[in-house]
Structure 1
Amino acid sequence: MASILILNGTVVNENRIFEADIFVKDGLIEAIGKDLQHKTADQVIDATGLHIVPGLIDDQVHFREPGLTHKAELYTESRAAVAGGVTSFMEMPNTVPNTLTQELLQEKYDRAAQASLANYSFFMGASNDNLDEVLKTNPKDVCGVKVFMGSSTGNMLVDNQKTLEGIFANSPTLIATHCESEEVIQRNTAAAREQFGENVPIGQHPIIRSEEACFASSSFAVNLARKAGARLHILHISTAKEVGLFDTDIPLKEKKITSEACIHHMWFSDADYAEKGTLIKWNPAVKTANDRDGIIAGVNSNAIDVIATDHAPHTLEEKQNNYFKAPSGGPLVQHSLVALLDLYHQGKFTLEKIVEKSAHAVADLFEIDRRGYLKEGYHADIAIVDLNSPWQVTKENLLYKCKWSPFEGHQFKSKVMHTIVSGQLAYSNGKLNEVGSGQRLAFDR
């Protein structure tokens, strides 16, 4: 494995910003300090004027393999992730077939070992009738158990009270939940159909998948977790009201109930449906500007613990259907870091907070072995960015298999220059190194 010497960079790590060199050898960070130019390395990166951050860890992506590979693949989406400074991902179980057995889960790990340029882990899926399989999950090498407490594909809606109580009481690892009340959504859908027939406008999406639907389900999950003493992680918070469910005065490592914010809920609002249409149709829905601002405030107050993407591509043809036929989800993982850096330029986040919520806190929350920080002895997962290098998103520079983005036409202020994954230079100056450098994440549990 090639050694790498990074010189003259500005490091952002553990709430500090400082000048340093970094020496990488045998996949690990061997040294961080001043004046390391005497080290002999196979590759040297001059980071003068650039910022060095831990590679992002995205705890919620849908890479669509197996069964939905016309939308995306582990290979294509991990390439996009690496080009965006994302060095590790955790992928969801609503593939086809749904990941509801240990055998199917292992098949995904086997495929990622062959195809992924980024480090990887996969959630075990829960259904109303697979508790025995869920309980076999090894917390040392599986990131968590995913529970859809809202509509999903296949057999993945868990709405049986007894099953939910069994999962929350007995899960061997963290439980990650999608929280939307199916009852409220169905009631709102019926009302929309009564008003609009089958031609429901996309602007109704946050009314159908409403604040009430989200809060009812999230608060129910929090109460279940408290009753059972479970380790609960609620994904993609989409309302300001939900932020109030979470503690701000408990250190992350002591929290049993945590939450996640996603890029799109901090970027778009319901005012954007007029221009973007179904391209910004996600579940949970993008809601009001007040919700967007409340989520950003929740990240800054530490009510919300981590930032992710919920990267979930569909083909453009699929997305261009009418409201009921257009699937929810969109591609984001190539642009998450640069989007966060735009929010930094807007004064919404500090660089230190971005690193904390997209790397440090994800590693702490999931208890990932030696990742998420720039520390000697840790795996070398590193992104190097130019904060002041504007570029525009076009179809030509998209790496997603679906070849579209809700950011098309937007000019980002910052650019990812280099990405190191598990000690290998996987992306540099616009070029990918197709070495398959991704490793399986391990957990200190």
Structure 2
Amino acid sequence: MKTLIRNAKLVNQGQIRQQDLLIDAGRIARIDDTITPDANTKVIDADGKYLIPGMIDDQVHFREPGFPNKGNIGSESRACVAGGITSFMEMPNVNPQTTTLEALEDKYALAATKAVANFSFYLGATNDNLEVIKRLDPNQACGVKTFMGASTGNMLVDNIEALEGIFANAPTLIATHCEDTPTITEQEELARAKYGDDVPMELHGEIRSREACYKSSSLAVELAKKHQARLHVLHLTTAEELEMFKPAKQLSQLSSANITAEVCVHHLYFNDSDYTRLGSQIKCNPSVKKQSDKMALIKAVNDNVIDIIATDHAPHTWDEKQNKYFNAPSGVPLVQHALLSLLEHYHNGLFTLEKIVEKTSHAVAERYQLADRGYLREGYHADLVLLDLDSPYTVTKDNLLYHCKWSPFEGHQFNSSIAATWVNGTLMFDGTNIVDNQLGERLAFNRD
């Protein structure tokens, strides 16, 4: 059975055009002003809603294997699909850590039985696995994740010789978490000396400070320039860091770019005044910072200084989050509401729909050299999302699909809703429920 989506406003490559789109055998078979269906075609009238390529989230933590109480590939990929994310790239700080080629392939095998969105995984870097990184096939992983600041677990790469080796030899893109650990430790000690164990959550942005971010991200940029490495700096949070990523890049330059940058949806949505209301719910690393930083990041997206928008989805249990500052883990569940939060910026006149699609789909496909995804193009995989910009959506505990069953957006009403999501041509979400359990596919890359 083919599927014809009629009367949709297609958002693609900087344009919005009302056209029909035909899905056949999991791919986009035809895009035209008018398509006449045959007897073997299911017709869906989009009624003027907006059709976009599914978001490709290049930064998630699904907690499997190792932490089933927080999240798993099945639950979190369903939350992705309900949020309009059709493909994800998942991080290596699980248990066992994804720091060997064997662990990497084990993870792919696990996802092939559980993920309802398309998937890829990072190989994790450590101070002593350079030989493993050298053996990595460039098409085997989305990238090499390097924690240049301890965030979770013991994957901190703090040996400068190890970093030099990684940047000189990594066969694929290096994605970095940049925070300088000694700078953070110093601020933690000062806070503990003043407050003991009762450090206010409002100080998180000062403890995981802008200085810690800049010191580490500038080192990453320096190493990338020195070794001509392909560097992607994840989750920028400060106005100062943006100065390192000019001049702006165009989509056509991303596949060969030396250095690119990313921002996450929560750093575009929240600011440090929200700690008073939400506390540990928005405690994340790197931290949510000032309103001025948030506005600088939004401007950098529009100016193409920032190339990609992602989530850094990182669920923890509600009970864990109720601990005092030093024991409350950092991380926020976000995939189900990432696109909806970005559409708030559209409604507020800060982003265009075209810019949102560029940063969540086109640019990710280009930077990671994905095969046949990220655009509304004939022959491409039919990873599609239908947006209803006029139908509000309220986040409740009952409609959360995260395994952890909480969200900083609970009780919030967004101005838009996800009307439908297709993954590889299969309708997976109908605007209310997950309607199919068709499994996603391993992402393929066009790399030499």
Decide whether aligned partners of structure 1 residues 292 and 121 sit closer, same or farther in structure 2, where only a CA change above 3 A counts: same
Is the 1:5–1:39 contact (alpha carbons within 8 Å) kept by the matching residues of 2? no
Of stretches 196-205 and 38-47 in structure 1, the one that deviates more from structure 2 is 38-47
Q: Per-residue deviation at 1:80?
A: 0.4
Uncovered stretches (5+) of structure 2, i.e. residues with no partner: none
TM-score (norm 1): 0.98
**Residue equivalent to 1:213:** 212
Structure 2 residue corresponding to 1:386, chosen from 351, 371, 388: 388
CA distance in 2, matches of 1:392, 1:234: 33
Is the 2:234–2:262 contact (alpha carbons within 8 Å) kept by the matching residues of 1? yes
CA distance in 2, matches of 1:72, 1:16: 37
Is the 1:124–1:145 contact (alpha carbons within 8 Å) kept by the matching residues of 2? yes
**Residue equivalent to 1:33:** 32
Q: Which amino acid aligns with 2:374?
A: G
**Residue equivalent to 1:359:** 361
CA distance in 2, matches of 1:268, 1:426: 30
1:258 counterpart SS class: strand
1:135 counterpart SS class: helix
**Residue equivalent to 1:272:** 274
2:306 counterpart SS class: coil
Alignment partner of 1:400 is 2:407: no
Matches within 5 A, 1:33-432: 33-251=32-250, 252-253=253-254, 254-432=256-434
**Residue equivalent to 1:15:** 14
Q: Per-residue deviation at 1:398?
A: 0.5
Q: Per-residue deviation at 1:385?
A: 0.8
Q: Which amino acid aligns with 1:31?
A: R
Q: Per-residue deviation at 1:41?
A: 4.1
Q: Which amino acid aligns with 1:393?
A: V
CA distance in 1, matches of 2:18, 2:394: 29
Q: Which amino acid aligns with 2:228?
A: G
CA distance in 2, matches of 1:41, 1:5: 10
Q: Per-residue deviation at 1:178?
A: 0.1
Give the total of aligned pairs. Answer: 444
Decide whether aligned partners of structure 1 residues 230 and 426 sit closer, same or farther in structure 2, where only a CA change above 3 A counts: same
Q: Which amino acid aligns with 1:103?
A: E
Q: Per-residue deviation at 1:274?
A: 0.4
Is the 1:424–1:437 contact (alpha carbons within 8 Å) kept by the matching residues of 2? no
Q: Per-residue deviation at 1:4?
A: 1.2
Is the 1:141–1:441 contact (alpha carbons within 8 Å) kept by the matching residues of 2? no
Decide whether aligned partners of structure 1 residues 381 and 328 sit closer, same or farther in structure 2, where only a CA change above 3 A counts: same
CA distance in 2, matches of 1:154, 1:38: 54
Q: Which amino acid aligns with 2:327?
A: K
Q: Which amino acid aligns with 1:343?
A: H
CA distance in 2, matches of 1:4, 1:403: 33
TM-score (norm 2): 0.98
Is the 1:28–1:379 contact (alpha carbons within 8 Å) kept by the matching residues of 2? yes
CA distance in 1, matches of 2:436, 2:83: 15
Of stretches 76-85 and 2-11 in structure 1, the one that deviates more from structure 2 is 2-11
2:113 counterpart SS class: helix
Is the 2:113–2:439 contact (alpha carbons within 8 Å) kept by the matching residues of 1? no
Q: Per-residue deviation at 1:154?
A: 3.2
The Cα RMSD (Å) is 1.0
Q: Per-residue deviation at 1:195?
A: 1.1
CA distance in 2, matches of 1:89, 1:38: 32
Q: Which amino acid aligns with 2:365?
A: A
Is the 2:151–2:285 contact (alpha carbons within 8 Å) kept by the matching residues of 1? no
Q: Per-residue deviation at 1:43?
A: 2.7
Of stretches 238-247 and 115-124 in structure 1, the one that deviates more from structure 2 is 238-247
CA distance in 1, matches of 2:202, 2:289: 10
Q: Per-residue deviation at 1:75?
A: 0.2
Q: Per-residue deviation at 1:42?
A: 4.2
Is the 1:28–1:423 contact (alpha carbons within 8 Å) kept by the matching residues of 2? yes
Q: Per-residue deviation at 1:133?
A: 1.1
Of stretches 243-252 and 137-146 in structure 1, the one that deviates more from structure 2 is 243-252
Is the 1:122–1:143 contact (alpha carbons within 8 Å) kept by the matching residues of 2? yes
CA distance in 1, matches of 2:11, 2:38: 22
Is the 2:168–2:227 contact (alpha carbons within 8 Å) kept by the matching residues of 1? yes
Q: Deviations over 1:150-179 (max 9, x none)?
A: 013333100001000000000010000000
Is the 2:37–2:43 contact (alpha carbons within 8 Å) kept by the matching residues of 1? no
What percent identity do the matched residue pairs reach? 54
